Amino acid sequence: MTSSLPRRPLLAALAIAPFVMARAASAQGELVNIEKKIFTMKQFRLESGTVMPDVRIAYETYGTLAPDGRNAVLLTHGYTSSQHMAGRAGANGAEGSWDGLVGPGKAIDTNRLFVVSSNMLGSSYGSTNPAQTNPKTGKPYGPDFPTITLVDIVNAQKALLDSLGVKHLVAVAGPSFGGYQTFQWGVTYPDFMDGLVPVVSAPKGSGGEASVKALIEVLAKDPNWNGGHYYENGGITKVLTEMRVATLKRYGIDEQLAAQFPDKAAREAEIVKRAESWSKVFDGNSLVVLRRASVNFDAEKDMPKIKAKVLYVISRTDKLFPPSIAPGVMEKLKAAGVTADYFEIDSELGHSASGLDAAKWAPRLKAFMATLPQGA
């Protein structure tokens, strides 16, 4: 059943004015000085019926919203990544994960489109998550953070878009867990967008509750775990670092770094360095909350509700969502009456190909955007 936004949350003041967005560009036409913004709302009702008294959603924006509010694109990010998907935060800031796709003159052209890149409810990059203070106890939520679903994540994003004055989306697009969100948008708000671009993803989660329990068992190996109440024990960076190294290798980081670090030992040291940096930012309980949301995700059963055109994209070397799943997904989409096309990124960079090998599919994305109202 299509879920509508539960009782409309009370929208609070935004961190900055909603319509004047980061559009500063360098001489090369790149987005610079991108800032993280925070949207806040009160009394947000989850699918479970639980009401969260205060919710924050972190986000970035690129481009300018048209007066009719109908030139917007929503970007959704992966399981352990952030909303920083385009441009740079200052002259020496990190490049956004989809910077090769989003910006002036690019496939998602910020000269004409207003792009909102939203963090997820439950994520560790500025949105309300388990490491933040539970207003009822004055202590971090930890393992007591309420169970959330993909519908809850999408509903929070819808409230954000409403607050910004977005009336209709040209498209929703995102990789991996962002693809889950993209599919969920298509079935929850089928009249709100013209296009969907789920990338290196699927319309249904996998693993079930057993995979959530397995994740908790791994996290519990850290001596500071304490049933998930580790915030005053020094955290669990040791086990998070080990997990991140394994995840990066599944994503194809060895192939990504081979040219820069041909020596295996030097490459391994770089991978560990990146994993340690991530472990200091991302919260273990967020991994659990989002994993549970993902395994319960199922937009496949509601595919007939999708009205938007779909461009489904997979990487040839992705081990998480291999090309072998694509025929089944496309068959289900077409059986549901959805107008859908498939594109395979010819890349050696596995699950990370959509961003790191953006040039290999940017023309296809640009062509798809051109078929959408206001997308060209």
Catalytic residues: 176, 318, 351
Distance between CA atoms of residues 349 and 257, nearest Å: 10
**φ and ψ of 355, to 5 deg:** -95, -50
* Closest C-alpha to 313, from 171, 208, 112: 171
Which structure tokens are listed for 146? 């309420």
> Are the C-beta atoms of 356 and 293 separated by less than 8 Å?
no
Report the alpha-carbon angle 208-153-54, nearest 5: 120
> Are the C-beta atoms of 251 and 275 separated by less than 8 Å?
no
Which structure tokens are listed for 107? 């496939």
Are β-strands 340-345 and 114-118 bridged in parallel, bridged antiparallel, or unpaired? Answer: unpaired
> Are the C-beta atoms of 141 and 134 separated by less than 8 Å?
yes
Half-sphere exposure in the Cβ direction for 347 (13 Å, CA) = 30
> Are the C-beta atoms of 97 and 84 separated by less than 8 Å?
yes
Distance between CA atoms of residues 227 and 216, nearest Å: 9
Distance between CA atoms of residues 143 and 283, nearest Å: 11
Angle, helices 177-188 vs 150-164, to 10°: value is: 70
Beta-carbon contacts of 289 under 8 Å, excluding residues fewer than 6 positions away, are: 122, 129, 130, 145, 147, 148
**φ and ψ of 368, to 5 deg:** -65, -45
Distance between CA atoms of residues 376 and 374, nearest Å: 6
Only one residue has tokens 């009249």, namely 191
